[in-house]
Structure 1
């Protein structure tokens, strides 16, 4: 029998390669910056909750996921969402979708994604597209997860776990696109002035935030609404001047965003020991649209995947052929940003300036977590 000796450097190289493969495949580090991240929102951050719902708002088919490892998953993007990138920055794995049958037991310990395409702050929002989990339902869905967590740790450990976990909420776009701007489906447009409607949204939003706080959460990142008047869906209405956005739609959004920032001040003042952060998505995306070359983009006014005016009158259908140079596009389809934009937005949420994350960014929230440990 011939005895073969493997050179020591070769053994080291093999072990190193195995370690690299394991780490890169999980895309996490040994010690996450937060024990867990819980996400509520709409299709911007949905990672598959609508897959088995009776809904027109689905993306579990090609070419969605064309650049995502594993292909179509229910993400409304060519690749990763903002939450995927943010999770990588925080050392967390991709979050399981609440509606997935495997989201039980130990699989919920690093967090859960409850976001649902077409969902809004109001329960009625998005009903023209079928079933979805509204914000109030997403909060209820978390309460079922909370029961699972209670079975895995004692009350003291659970209290510390929730207080140090991060809650990210990305909602409000559909309350305009699939509600206020669709008076044929809803009565809201007839009942409320723009100011009253923004107040209505904030009042509903506040109630759900306070519920989550009462359940034990203390770290909140609340993203505002981006410049909806600039997305391909709105440009395709023909209401915008050449090379401009739909002004009145952006003005509607600003009314909500202004109130959200004021709400953050109010919540921080009234709930010492907690931290509420306003994520200025409007400013971040608007900066990309106004200075695309600075970010590496060349196409800002049409979708990568879709048909008709601005490639957005008919959104991305099954087996559509998308653009080839996807990283040059700001928008993937009529409503959603590309993976390239999502990466930028995640980094701005993580380490953005005070004008992008108020009063602090997520990285600074980590320091707050460490001080309270």
Structure 2
């Protein structure tokens, strides 16, 4: 597969997104208490799926436009790491978010946006000793493929491994790493000529990431806990059985030509790429379940409520 093939595909995707935005200028259960004893701070590194307003403030509150986007989030409400922080009973002062919309994993970044590796390196350079009781979240990679920046998943998994090793060396003990949903099944790509290519890249990326994480688990030992968040399987389940998650539309974007649908909580996707805040809530509950399992906590009855 040629790099320029995906680059051309992303040019079309970008045009679609420009057309879309151009017209627009806890619960207190016992398990939450137990897990909050083990996690007392949250650090987030990633892209638009985790950005809580970094691009918004960097652009003078111009992008993503508010409304229809919610206060700098690439969604119609809070994003998953905010819901997760709430589930962990963390205050805003206990959350630090380095994620930028448009961020890649590596390759120097796009349009001056710090990539994930740069975000982590910036953090570790100013934090030689980090909080061992914090949870460190890493999620990126979609932009690398959508932008055609790479077609080599190993390059990205190696960069992610470097980021994890850097955090571990600084003292991080709990690291949550998410894989990618099927990039060929997004509203903006599903009916495109490059849908199949993106689906293949997604599968290759997730396989390479899983292998890298297995190696890291052996190298770092049990002292460093790497928690995997299987976003790919979650999206597949939602698309196959939307009613299980309270959804009715898992293929179309709620936001269409600056107008939003009347029932966004029933949609998986807010725009052509990003999930609704309802889907972000599902992501957060799935992440909490993964944390409960990895940290040997009792299963929480409300996780998949």
Alignment TM class, shorter chain as reference: 0.7 to 0.9
- Within the candidate set 48, 59, 64, 1:59 is matched to 64
> 2 CA distance for matches of 1:229 and 1:57?
29
Structure 2, unmatched stretches of 5+, are: 1-26, 298-305
- State how many pairs are aligned: 266
- TM-score of the two chains, using structure 2 as the length reference: 0.79
Q: Distance in 1 between matches of 2:81 and 2:103?
A: 17
After superposition, the Cα gap between the structure-2 partners of 1:30 and 1:225, relative to the gap in structure 1 and judged at 3 Å, is closer
Unpaired runs of at least 5, structure 1: 1-22, 66-71, 95-106, 148-157, 181-187, 189-193, 241-245, 308-319, 352-360, 369-373
Change in Cα spacing, 1:55 to 1:222, as seen in structure 2 (3 Å) is farther
Alignment correspondent of 1:328: 266
> For 1:284, what is the secondary structure of its paired residue?
helix
Which residue, 187, 211, 215 being the options, matches 1:262? Answer: 211
- Provide the C-alpha distance between the structure 2 equivalents of 1:338 and 1:80, rounded to a whole number of angstroms: 9
Mapping of residues 14-163 of structure 1, within 5 Å? 32-33=36-37, 34-53=39-58, 58-65=63-70, 72=71, 74-94=72-92, 107=93, 110-125=94-109, 127=110, 130-143=111-124, 146=127, 162-163=131-132
Conserved? CA contact 2:35–2:292, under 8 Å: no
Deviations 1:292-323 (A, max 9, x none): 1222211122111133xxxxxxxxxxxx3311
Asked whether the equivalents of residues 161 and 216 of structure 2 are also in contact (C-alpha less than 8 Å), the reply is no
Contact 2:47 2:101 in 1 (8 A): yes
| In 2, Cα distance between equivalents of 1:174 and 1:121 | 8
Kept after mapping to 1: 8 A contact 2:105/2:160: yes
- The CA deviation at 1:143 is 3.3
Cα distance change, pair 282–137 in 1 and its aligned pair in 2 (3 A)? same
Matched position secondary structure for 1:112: strand
In the other structure, the counterpart of 2:189 is: 234
Normalising by structure 1, what TM-score?
0.66
Q: Secondary structure at the match of 1:254?
A: helix
- Whether contact under 8 Å (1:53, 1:132) holds in the other structure is no
> Which residue in 2 is equivalent to 1:295?
245
Is contact 1:198–1:255 with CA below 8 Å preserved after alignment?
yes
2:62, 2:167 → 1: CA distance?
A: 26
Relative CO higher for 1 or 2, CA cutoff 8 Å, sep ≥ 6? 2
